[in-house]
Amino acid sequence: MTETATSTTHVDAARTRVTEWRFAPGAETGFHTHEYDYVIVPVTASRMRLEHPDGSVTHADLEPGRSYFRQAGVAHNVVNEGPGELVFVEVEFLEPAARS
C-alpha cells in the first residue's frame, strides 16, 4: 500500500490558505486538481514525480526557498522520489485581491 503525504493547514483566511505538506520517501498526494492559483515554497530539497491525467510523467527537483507559481486547473499526483522527507508549503489564492 502506498503511503499518503500529510498536510497541516496553517492559515485558512478569506483570500488565502497556507498548507504545509510532508512526504516520506515514496509517499504521494493522490490524483487531484487544483481549484485555485497557488505558489509552492520548498522547505527541503527533493525530487518530485508528477503523474498527469494523460498518463505522462514529469519530474521536478526542488530546492529550499526556490518558489514557483501555478494557475488553477493543474491536475496531477505528486510522489516524493527523493531519499529523504519532502516538505513544502503551498499558498493558495482563494479569490482575487481587491483592486483600488
- Measured CA to CA, the distance from residue 65 to residue 98 in angstroms comes to 27
Domains of the chain: 6-75 (2.60.120.10)
The rounded average pLDDT for each run of 10 residues, N- to C-terminus, in the chain (100 residues) is 92 96 98 96 98 98 97 96 97 79
What does each C-alpha distance from 65 to 34, 40, 41, 83 come to in angstroms?
22, 9, 6, 19
Q: Which set of grid coordinates corresponds to residue 48?
A: 518530485
- At residue 95, φ and ψ (nearest 5 deg) are -155, 155
| C-alpha cell of residue 49 | 514525480
